[in-house]
Structure 1
Amino acid sequence: MARAVAEKHDEILAAAARRFAVTGYRGTSLQDIAREVGCSKAAVLYHFANKEAILTELMAPAIEVLQALDERIAAHAGADAQRVAAEGFVDLAVRFRREIALLRGEFPELLQQPAFAHIQRISERLIDALAGHPERASARITAFVLLAGISETCGEFVDVPDEELRSALLALVRRALEPVD
């Protein structure tokens, strides 16, 4: 019995990921997920309190890696922090490109939800570290565009081998960022 419950839980997560990829988080209802699984909306709600809980669980592994990156960045300064931020974010984006692609175009709205509020603070610290010169508007703009661009496009390259994508993204980041003095 417990195995069947766990399987249904996983089936709901997989269906939600597929629906979010097709119609976005906003464009997907619990009823859409239930229909894809072949169960009732009540069955979905048995496993998850709401749609945000589904998204939270889908994104949990990526968020854990992002939090660990934030801790690694905090342990460094200057050029080291910039390097750790660049390599860490690229690694995260490559590893979780499918999950990130689910949220394409919806990050700003999702960051307003309580379950994801801490991501906004981590993003600001990541931008500061990437910028290297957070007091310079041009450096912050570059860092912001890099983060947004990588996040918005990484899912487009699901067929590119991880190491090839990582190498291309790191080369782009290194060309775009101002070195820290």
Structure 2
Amino acid sequence: MTRAVPERHDNILAAAGRRFAQSGYRGTSLQDIAADVGCSKAAVLYHFADKKAILAELVARPIDQLRELDERIAAASSPAEAQRVAAEGYVDLAVQFRRETAFLRGEFPGLLEHPPFDHLQHVPERLVRAFAGHSDRPAARVAALVVLAGIAETCGEFIDLPDSELRPALLALVRRALEPVT
């Protein structure tokens, strides 16, 4: 029996990440990934059960950290603290996992429909609520949604910008865009 080659496994993940960022999850086929790695589709399937398994492995760390952020938001003692925790935590997550953020743009709602991620169904709404300072005012919710989407879009566009420049720029934008919680 032949053993899986760890290098090939990692190369498949890297190629899939690049393809997903470029064409989206739905716009990428296993054949595309195989061509980028220089192997057959069967070789990709030797390492991964299917495309969902590749995605699951690629997003495992960011998803774990998103779950931790959700727990910190839920534990916040006030709407102002929840807003601060959400803003700083989400910016940190998006900056750290820029590539994953890039390929999840527009894909996150669909991702939540897959069984490995269904435990995260409430996270987007909790993020919006925290960013809005727990306000039900339409203006606060609109600002929260625009800021969240903008962070994801920006991180996807500035893959090569140093963290030390991107993080403060995003946090300054968040502070200007969101209504302060009193």
Q: TM (normalized to structure 1)?
A: 0.90
- CA RMSD, Structure 1 to Structure 2 (Å): 1.8
Equivalence for 2:66: 66
User: 1:44-85: CA deviations, max 9, x gaps?
Assistant: 112111101101111111111111111111111221111111
Contact preservation (8 Å) 1:19, 1:33: yes
Q: Secondary structure at the match of 1:42?
A: helix
User: Residue type of the partner of 1:43?
Assistant: A
Matches of 1:165 and 1:58, distance apart in 2: 22
The answer as to 2:166 corresponding to 1:165 is: yes
State how far apart, in whole Å, the 1-side matches of 2:132 and 2:63 are. Answer: 22
Partner letter of residue 87 of structure 1? E
Matched residues, number: 180
* Residue 86 (structure 1) aligned with residue 119 (structure 2): no
Match for residue 53 of structure 1? 53
Q: 5+ residue gaps in structure 2?
A: none
Distance change >3 Å, CA 133–CA 104, structure 1 → 2: closer
The answer to whether the Cα contact below 8 Å between 1:105 and 1:152 also exists between their aligned partners in 2 is: no
* Structure 1 runs not aligned, ≥5 long: none
Shift of 1:158: 2.2
The structure 1 segments of at least 4 consecutive aligned residues displaced by more than 4 Å after TM superposition are none
Q: Report what 1:149 is aligned to.
A: 150
Matched position secondary structure for 1:27: coil
CA contact (8 A) 1:69 1:85 kept: yes
Q: For residue 56 of structure 2, what is the amino acid of its counterpart?
A: T
1:147-178 deviation per Cα after TM superposition (whole angstroms, max 9, x unaligned):
11111221211232212111111111111111
Give the share of equivalent positions with the same residue, in percent. 70
Aligned counterpart, 1:104: 105
CA distance in 2, matches of 1:120, 1:47: 28
Q: Write the deviation string for residues 26-60 of structure 1: whole angstroms up to 9, x where unpaired.
A: 11111221222222222211211110110111111
Amino acid at match of 1:58: L
